[in-house]
Structure 1
Amino acid sequence: MFPELKNDRFLRALLKQPVDTTPVWMMRQAGRYLPEYRASRATAGDFLSLCKNDAFACEVTLQPLERYELDAAILFSDILTIPDAMGLGLYFETGEGPKFKHTVRSKADVDALPIATANDLDYVMKAVTTIRHALNGRVPLIGFSGSPWTLATYMVEGGSSKDFRHIKAMMYQTPEVLHALLDKLAKSVIDYLNGQIKAGAQAVQIFDTWGGVLSGPMYQQFSLMYMKQIMDGLIRTHEGQKVPVIMFTKNGGQWLENMAATGPDALGLDWTTDMAEARARVGDKVALQGNLDPCVLYADKAVIEREVENTLAGFGHGTGHVFNLGHGIHQFVNPEQPKYLIDAVHELGAKYHEQSYDDLDTLNGLD
């Protein structure tokens, strides 16, 4: 059994339940912009050693919560754990990002891949449970995975890409091979995220980082269809509590209605999508998360507060908004700056919830 949750503002907002003020967390909130993170990484030796040791993963997950009044913690891990568990040999080169020793370029390559399970990634499950206990009910813990399309881009390209030429060639020339790969990945993600939920994750997010490089029809076929498969296979209630699911497609603002129709509780927005327009388009069907440009954190306190207010006003009154950056926090941000953002969200956000929230006692548990 885990300690009782003391701050459920984040979960309530995802489920469109009343809150006292807008909750906030930041994608990549545990990362290189924090000197304490850099010290932990140096001690661990390298990035993968940091991810694969539950004590280190717990340590860096909690670091931003010691600095800031965040409303959620997110598991410290990497989106490429599943391809690594499939035997592709994940490694990192300084200045070049993730790479794989083996690529997936043919039907034979896809056929040889196993479906990864939570048992294959037991170090992640152990980290989730360790972090959940260490949080001691302070805030909820978010688990996550990359989307099948995003994972496939790295597996086919062999690492990061600017033109996605290998996977797009596969998509157009041998679509049946790519569909077979994406199906294996969707099955792997379902087991992986359900494993995280059983281990203690209280919400999960699917990061479709590269969905926005696709055309509309290709997005429907090769990204969204497989995220719908995941939605249909996820545990949505665990130990008597709802487990909200967030779907985030970077540069996917043109497809919000289609994304909402797949069944997530919330959609993540990047900064290229207008918050007011997004809310008008999806209505009350889903909550919205986002969507401040991460570069705002290079500005001074007054500018940060102004941009926070603009984002809050864009969503407007009522529940269903989780404040976040439109993508991960940049490594060169001064670690003092996020405090201005987080404090401003809580202070300025309260007025948008005055009419819908008049009983603070309900914060003690989800309805």
Structure 2
Amino acid sequence: MNLDSAHPLAAGRTPDSLLLRALRGERGDRVPVWFMRQAGRSLPEYRALRAGTQMLDSCLDPAMASEITLQPVRRHGVDAAVFFSDIVVPLRLVGVGVEIVAGRGPVLDAPVRTGADVAELTRIDPATLDDAMAPVLDAVARTVAELGETPLIGFAGAPFTLAAYLVEGGPSKDHLRARALMHADPAAWRALMAWTADLTGRFLRGQVLAGASAGQLFDSWAGALSLADYTAHVAPASARALDAVRDLTFAHQGVQRRLPLIHFGVGTGELLPAMLDVGVDAIGVDYRLPLDEANRRLGGRVPLQGNLDPALLGAPLPVLAEHLADVLRRGEAAPAHILNLGHGVPPETDPDRLTWIVNTVRGR
């Protein structure tokens, strides 16, 4: 399906951006840079805007979500915006009881822990998300109208991470209940993963149709899995989620291209080749694995994104500068490199440090 002619990719506003070129494996005069969780968290203007508003309510306020998405682009001059939302927003929109509790994260009203629980949950048709997404689509459209040639990255949670929250009822260190269900009731697990894949895939597709120029699938908890479990019980669902956007194409310089996709997981150094095999254009690497080693494990086949250690954002500036130079040097091993963090921006980060990184990369 060709994207609408007014879409930033089809209209030619974003295909030649540094980000999109890097996702095609092309190297420009410098690496592009953006930061995961750059929208919000560390910015005082974000905290002022969101004062008195619950997290999920702010995600569903189109004007607020758009403004939060734009704030780091204005302040830092990053090469891409990432849409301000949360991976559990699609759950909320189809009627699943979930709140984001300060200091803890997403908490479910009723965990999904048995085959009967899964059967009850999956009675909800993921297609109901399409109409419920109107506030999200409005926010994306508002944002894209302001960004010009700066691409917007849409994002969605990977099926396993959504399923882990549903089964555990909230954040977990080891995801024992989710992993137990995977093996104790494989049929229920497959049904749950198919449902979360279809839901999160629709969430990503909606953002793209509304104007996002790339998509990123976040698998925050996949690092809890063995390679065998990931390959057998998780990767097929991640591929299914991304199938929701694989048909979206646009013409650029006489070539029909498809939407570029990034896959990122936390603690997934042993899973990287399997994560690539779900069908993506770039792999995000967390801070635990040097980029040159990640490139070796991936056979030099794909652009890499990452992987500054978020902990070093608060280190003395010479320490951060040395680390930044090392990450950029190791990133030269890959076909292309998008500078980012190896996880999200910590809330206590001095925003000036992020601006300093961008300016340093730009040679200012």
TM normalised by structure 2 equals 0.90
Q: Give the stretch that moved more between structures: 231-240 or 221-230.
A: 231-240
Shift of 1:176: 1.5
Shift of 1:236: 5.2
- Aligned residue among 68, 82, 95 for 1:74: 82
The answer to whether the 8 A contact 1:115-1:187 is kept is no
1:287 maps to amino acid? P
1:329 maps to amino acid? V
Q: Tell me how far apart the structure 2 counterparts of residues 40 and 293 of structure 1 sit (CA, whole Å).
A: 28
Structure 1 residues 233 and 60: CA distance shift in structure 2, 3 A: closer
Shift of 1:157: 1.2
The answer to whether the 8 A contact 2:295-2:333 is kept is no
Per-residue CA deviation, residues 51-77 of structure 1 (Å, 9 max, x unaligned), is 001100011111111111200000000
**Structure 1 residue aligned with 2:146:** 134
Higher relative contact order (CA 8 A, sep 6+): 1
Q: CA RMSD in A?
A: 1.9
Percent identity between matched residues is 38
After superposition, residues 266-305 of structure 1 pair within 5 angstroms as: 266-305=282-321
The answer to whether the 8 A contact 1:147-1:223 is kept is no
The answer to whether the 8 A contact 1:19-1:319 is kept is no
Q: Tell me how far apart the structure 1 counterparts of residues 115 and 212 of structure 2 sit (CA, whole Å).
A: 35
The answer to whether the 8 A contact 2:302-2:335 is kept is no
Secondary structure of 1:57's aligned partner: helix
Per-residue CA deviation, residues 100-154 of structure 1 (Å, 9 max, x unaligned), is 11221222222223232332322212211111112133x1000000000000111
* Aligned residue pairs, count: 346
**Structure 1 residue aligned with 2:341:** 325
**Structure 1 residue aligned with 2:170:** 159
Q: Give the stretch that moved more between structures: 305-314 or 217-226.
A: 217-226
**Structure 2 residue aligned with 1:186:** 197
The answer to whether the 8 A contact 1:205-1:245 is kept is yes
1:341 aligns with 2:363: no
Unaligned runs of 5+ in 2: 1-5, 252-256
1:26 aligns with 2:38: no
Say which structure is richer in helix: 1
Structure 1 residues 215 and 284: CA distance shift in structure 2, 3 A: closer
1:250 aligns with 2:260: no
Q: Tell me how far apart the structure 2 counterparts of residues 221 and 123 of structure 1 sit (CA, whole Å).
A: 36
The answer to whether the 8 A contact 1:144-1:204 is kept is yes
**Structure 2 residue aligned with 1:11:** 20
Secondary structure of 1:254's aligned partner: coil
**Structure 1 residue aligned with 2:63:** 55
Q: Give the stretch that moved more between structures: 339-348 or 287-296.
A: 339-348
1:119 maps to amino acid? D
**Structure 1 residue aligned with 2:254:** none
Per-residue CA deviation, residues 145-173 of structure 1 (Å, 9 max, x unaligned), is 00000001111111111232322221221
1:343 maps to amino acid? N
The answer to whether the 8 A contact 1:267-1:287 is kept is yes
- Aligned residue among 98, 107, 115 for 2:125: 115
Structure 1 residues 203 and 172: CA distance shift in structure 2, 3 A: same
1:281 maps to amino acid? R
TM normalised by structure 1 equals 0.89
Per-residue CA deviation, residues 260-289 of structure 1 (Å, 9 max, x unaligned), is 222200000001111111112324422110
Q: Give the stretch that moved more between structures: 63-72 or 81-90.
A: 81-90
Structure 1 residues 214 and 319: CA distance shift in structure 2, 3 A: closer
2:274 maps to amino acid? N
